[in-house]
Amino acid sequence: MIEVATRTSHPRSRGERTKRRQRHQNMSKEKERQHAITVKIALSNEKNGNYILKQEQKAAAKHEHLYKILVIGELGTGKTSIIKRYVHQFFSQHYRATIGVDFALKVLNWDANTIVRLQLWDIAGQERFGNMTRVYYKEAVGAFIVFDVTRAATFDAVVKWKQDLDAKVQLPDGSAIPCVLLANKCDQPKEGLVNNPSKMDEYCKERGFTAWFETSAKDNINIEDAAKCLVSKILQNNKMINSNESSNDLERFTLDGRNQREQKSKTCGC
């Protein structure tokens, strides 16, 4: 019985052993497979991570700016026409004074690393009152004041618009926001000081205008150049503000450092 039992049990245990060996082999194969998968995932995560990192680096390298720009001046000087020409490459003789505030967005690929979005604020109707509310001016970083070269009265009103602008909005350091003067409808006969460019230069310098341009929304003259001039002044201001901020940080850091050293020496002295 024992013999039989031994004989019968022997092949079974051998079989079991083989099965166990196979199971073991299978398990280590499975482990290897899982390990391979883990490595694959880790590699693809790393690849993904690198990709995301690269995308983030790319985004960080691209500077994007959104600037609020005001377009102000007397009624009928061509503010809406200038914006329409600049943003939509369109001009219409049909004069339609809308009521409220209109916005138009112009996107500029300034350089390989800089995108500038200009949010152009057009007034419609309120220019009758000769000034705007503080809310309208809030957070503007640049402005165009427009007059009509065929009507000298619209040029006389420029000073009032500049004063209103400077009183209601300033840069963080308290200085005036850049403002470009547009002598619009230059396709028409001109009236007044605008006929004397050097006097106009003087006028602009005295009153703190960044520059002035003769423009025509009708014939598409100088509008792009005027906008480029304003944007480069804004970017310049931006750089200055940023570098002031970082030098302030540096100052704070060195001051803190000095304070720490002084405190340390005092402690040491004690």
- Which residue ranges make up the site for ligand GDP (CB under 6 A)? 75-81, 93, 95, 97, 184-185, 187-188, 216-218
Cα separation of the two ends of the chain: 97
Nearest distance from C-beta of residue 137 to ligand GDP, angstroms: 17
| Cα–Cα distance, 256 to 144 (Å, whole number) | 43
Q: Which does 76 bind (CB under 5 to 8 A by kind): ligand GDP, Mg ion, none?
A: ligand GDP
Q: Is 77 in the site for Mg ion (CB under 5 A)?
A: no
162 versus 185: smaller Cβ distance to ligand GDP: 185
Nearest distance from C-beta of residue 127 to ligand GDP, angstroms: 7
| Cα–Cα distance, 21 to 147 (Å, whole number) | 95
Q: Distances in Å between the alpha carbon of 16 and those of 12, 45, 248?
A: 6, 42, 79
114 versus 131: smaller Cβ distance to ligand GDP: 131
Q: Is 80 in the site for Mg ion (CB under 5 A)?
A: yes
Classify burial at 110, counting beta carbons within 10 Å of its beta carbon; exposed 0-12, middle 13-18, buried 19 or more: middle
184 versus 237: smaller Cβ distance to ligand GDP: 184
- Helix (H/G/I), strand (E/B), else coil: 90: coil
Nearest distance from C-beta of residue 98 to ligand GDP, angstroms: 9
Nearest distance from C-beta of residue 214 to ligand GDP, angstroms: 10
Q: Which does 6 bind (CB under 5 to 8 A by kind): ligand GDP, Mg ion, none?
A: none
Q: Which residue is nearest to ligand GDP (CB)?
A: 78
| Cα–Cα distance, 191 to 156 (Å, whole number) | 12
65 versus 218: smaller Cβ distance to ligand GDP: 218
Nearest distance from C-beta of residue 189 to Mg ion, angstroms: 23
Q: Which residue is nearest to Mg ion (CB)?
A: 80
> How is residue 224 written in tokens?
């792009």
Query: What contacts 65, CB < 8 A, 6 or more positions away?
Result: 114, 115, 116, 117, 235, 238
| Cα–Cα distance, 11 to 32 (Å, whole number) | 31
Q: Which residues bind Mg ion (CB under 5 A)?
A: 79-80, 124
